[in-house]
């Protein structure tokens, strides 16, 4: 727990209390003491005073001092404001509870020895090269990939398998590896105890690099080059550090002769960047057959990381994911020669549809108890850079609906991510139609991508779109076919507007992982804190760490694992400053020291989970 420091308001209030509690006699004695001290000083430095100092002025001083105390207490505007800073922390005491940093007592000596090894130049260079070599194999996923048994573009994954075998020989000698649906991988590190396994997940595929951007990269996109600080290339952040970090941690433990009590399962997807159906989807079926429903003690996949906010590191493992849906809008109209056009062509009508949708964005909603709101509570309590006024609003919003709405209004300007995190987002990403410049378009289309708020649903989204688009269809004398139902005009119409689930990828928001009071969350939090508070980094990252539940806008392979466990965490243990230019973009690169900390985190997680009573 973070103890609040004594503020200026506290000190001023204390002084005022002391002053107001003094009796006139006390004041007189105090003033006479000051007179004597001033007299002694003036004898040493005669020029300091031209008038004799006597006790005769005691009463006057007493009156003046009482007046000053009254003014400070009743008219000075600052004490009440500053006093709020300490009072507000006290008012947030019950929010965002933290667990102590967790180090397994049975393996404490092993951890100390491993940290010495992790800090060695030899280990670092070997680990960095392991990631660099993985980056050099371009395991790109494409939206139009066929089945693994049919599409030759999958074959690069076999080369990646061979690389893993050569780089991690002890893993492949001691763990059982199963190829699922040809290219996805499941590893089993069998434990000695009959308890639920720990599941660590990652994905081996990467998004493609646009060949026209190759010259824009500081280093070639598949170089895997380590320049002394950064490891460059596509997949260096997303998500080959997950794969290589997990295998490096286990390889190192095997070298030390470690035998786990708790079975550790590894699930490496092969198409996470294109829905994950052939990889994680197939892995889920395999694990269900082998272990059954609710058979996993805890699952950790890629996701949140940590950041330095005002001298305190905030780690945000994602315990929830937004829903997902791609909506296709087709506008079907009669064709004809463009020399005899109607008032609006199909393209014009489609443009009007898009304009109408963008004119009615989904309004965000700040809801108590949801993951984003819980993150605000943590910041209000622990983030010293969080404005006092915001801290006050967070506290007041606990019980006041009016203050909750006021906080929401403030967040619109305060947090640039507020809209994305607290509401359903909409992005018109694809559009097409028309075949010739002198022929009226008979079929035009667009696709809108929606990330559905964690308090909403695909059904609610579809109903809302119908309400917006139905008047547009009526305006143009058109029928609306929405998600398999015909509505609107009953008689003849000039054309049709059709809404559909573009790729049958409709996904409800993920079940929220239990946090406060939950053993797996406490184990993860304690592991994060112990890793951060003992980091080996050379930079000035603070050692004080706070863990706050987070929400992912996107979806990971975990969307296929909901029936395996309710304890799903999306957390990569990567610092915000450790990604050079983000993911899925030019100059993707990871700070080498950040990758080293991922390995340390995964090692501590395995050891903490091994004999902990926090897991089933």
584 annotated as ligand-binding:
yes
Q: Does 12 fall in a domain?
A: no
Q: Are residues 302 and 339 in the same domain?
A: no
Q: Are residues 332 and 297 in the same domain?
A: no
Q: Are residues 265 and 349 in the same domain?
A: no
Q: Is pLDDT above 80 for 173?
A: yes
Q: Does 250 fall in a domain?
A: yes
Q: Please provide residue 179's backbone torsions phi and psi, each rounded to the nearest 5 degrees.
A: -90, 125
Domain hosting residue 464, numbered range: 326-501
Q: Are residues 350 and 292 in the same domain?
A: no
476 annotated as ligand-binding:
no
Q: Are residues 234 and 350 in the same domain?
A: no
Q: Are residues 220 and 296 in the same domain?
A: yes
For residue 118, give the H/E element and its range.
Answer: helix 108-118
Q: Are residues 277 and 347 in the same domain?
A: no
Residues 69-82 pLDDT 10s: 454 444 444 444 44
Q: Are residues 122 and 241 in the same domain?
A: yes
Please list the active-site residues. 205, 272
Q: Does 22 fall in a domain?
A: no
Q: Are residues 194 and 237 in the same domain?
A: yes
Q: Does 145 fall in a domain?
A: yes
Q: Which of 471, 501, 531 is the last residue of a domain?
A: 501
Q: Which of 463, 479, 501 is the last residue of a domain?
A: 501
Q: Does 195 fall in a domain?
A: yes
277 annotated as ligand-binding:
no
337 annotated as ligand-binding:
no
The predicted model gives 413-435 an average pLDDT of 94
Which CATH number is 131's domain given? 3.40.630.10
- 338 contacts 329 by C-beta, under 8 angstroms: no
Range of lowest pLDDT (34-43, 259-268, 473-482, 504-513): 34-43
Q: Does 336 fall in a domain?
A: yes
Q: Are residues 188 and 112 in the same domain?
A: yes
Which CATH number is 431's domain given? 3.30.70.360
Q: Are residues 285 and 333 in the same domain?
A: no
Range of lowest pLDDT (24-33, 159-168, 291-300, 489-498): 24-33
Would you say the pTM of this structure is higher than 0.95?
no
Helix, strand, coil fractions of the chain, as percent rounded to 5: 45, 20, 35
Q: Does 451 fall in a domain?
A: yes
Q: Please provide residue 287's backbone torsions phi and psi, each rounded to the nearest 5 degrees.
A: -70, -35
Q: Is pLDDT above 90 for 343?
A: yes
Structure tokens at 213: 């951007």
Nearest-CA neighbor of 579 among 321, 383, 307? 307
Question: Total domain count for the chain?
Answer: 2
Whole-number pLDDT of residue 28: 38
The predicted model gives 564-583 an average pLDDT of 95
Structure tokens at 419: 């809209």
Q: Are residues 286 and 411 in the same domain?
A: no
Q: Does 193 fall in a domain?
A: yes
């Amino acid at each position: 727990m973070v103890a609040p420091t004594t503020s200026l308001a506290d000190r001023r209030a204390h002084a005022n209390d002391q002053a107001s509690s003094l009796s006139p006699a006390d004041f007189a004695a105090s003033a006479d003491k000051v007179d004597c001290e001033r007299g002694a000083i003036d004898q040493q430095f005669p020029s300091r005073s031209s008038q004799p100092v006597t006790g005769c002025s005691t009463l006057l001083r007493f009156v003046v001092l009482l007046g000053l105390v009254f003014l400070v207490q009743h008219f000075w505007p600052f004490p009440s404001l500053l006093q709020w800073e300490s009072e507000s922390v006290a008012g947030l005491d019950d929010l965002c509870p933290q667990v102590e940093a967790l180090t397994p007592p049975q393996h404490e000596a092993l951890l100390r020895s491993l940290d010495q090894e992790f800090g060695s130049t030899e280990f670092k260079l070997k680990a960095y090269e392991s990631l660099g070599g993985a980056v050099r194999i371009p395991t790109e996923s494409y939206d139009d990939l066929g089945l693994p048994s049919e599409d030759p573009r999958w074959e690069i994954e076999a080369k990646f398998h061979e690389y893993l075998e050569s780089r991690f020989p002890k893993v492949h000698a001691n763990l059982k590896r199963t190829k699922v649906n040809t290219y996805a991988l499941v590893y089993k590190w069998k434990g000695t105890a009959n308890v639920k396994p720990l599941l660590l997940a990652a994905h081996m595929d990467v998004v493609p690099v646009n060949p026209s951007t190759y010259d824009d990269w500081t280093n070639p996109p598949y170089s895997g080059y380590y320049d002394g600080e950064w490891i460059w290339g596509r997949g260096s952040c997303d998500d080959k550090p997950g794969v290589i970090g997990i295998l490096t941690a286990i390889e190192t433990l095997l070298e030390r002769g470690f035998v786990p009590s708790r079975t550790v399962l590894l699930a490496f997807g092969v198409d996470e960047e294109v829905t994950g159906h052939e990889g994680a989807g197939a892995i889920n079926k395999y694990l269900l057959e082998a272990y059954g429903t609710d058979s996993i003690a805890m699952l950790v996949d890629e996701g949140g990381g940590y950041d330095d906010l005002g001298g305190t590191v905030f780690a945000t493992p994602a315990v929830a994911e937004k829903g997902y849906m791609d909506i296709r809008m087709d506008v079907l109209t009669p064709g004809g020669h463009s020399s005899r056009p109607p008032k609006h062509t199909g393209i014009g009508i489609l443009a009007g549809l898009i304009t109408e949708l963008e004119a009615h964005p989904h309004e965000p909603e700040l809801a108590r108890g949801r993951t984003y709101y819980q993150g605000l509570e943590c910041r209000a309590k622990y983030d010293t850079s969080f404005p006092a006024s915001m801290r006050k609003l967070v506290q007041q919003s606990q019980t006041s609906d009016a203050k909750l709405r006021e906080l929401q209004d403030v967040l619109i300007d305060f947090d640039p991510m507020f809209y994305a995190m607290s509401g359903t987002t909409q992005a018109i990403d694809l559009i097409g139609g028309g075949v010739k410049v002198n022929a009226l378009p008979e079929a035009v289309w667009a696709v809108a991508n929606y990330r559905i708020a964690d308090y909403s649903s695909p059904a609610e989204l579809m109903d809302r779109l119908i309400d917006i688009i139905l008047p547009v269809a009526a305006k143009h004398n058109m029928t609306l076919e929405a998600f398999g139902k015909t509505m609107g005009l009953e008689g003849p119409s000039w054309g049709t507007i059709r809404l559909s689930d573009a790729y049958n990828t409709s996904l409800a928001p993920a079940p929220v992982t239990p946090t406060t009071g939950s053993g797996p969350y406490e184990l993860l939090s304690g592991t994060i804190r112990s890793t951060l508070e003992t980091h080996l980094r050379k930079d000035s990252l603070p050692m004080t760490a706070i863990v706050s539940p987070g929400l992912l806008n996107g979806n990971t392979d975990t969307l296929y694992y909901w029936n395996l466990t309710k304890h799903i965490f999306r957390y990569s243990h990567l610092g915000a400053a450790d990604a050079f230019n983000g993911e899925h973009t030019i100059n993707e690169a990871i700070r080498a020291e950040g990758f080293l900390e991922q390995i340390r985190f995964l090692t501590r997680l395995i050891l903490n989970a091994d004999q902990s009573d926090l897991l089933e």
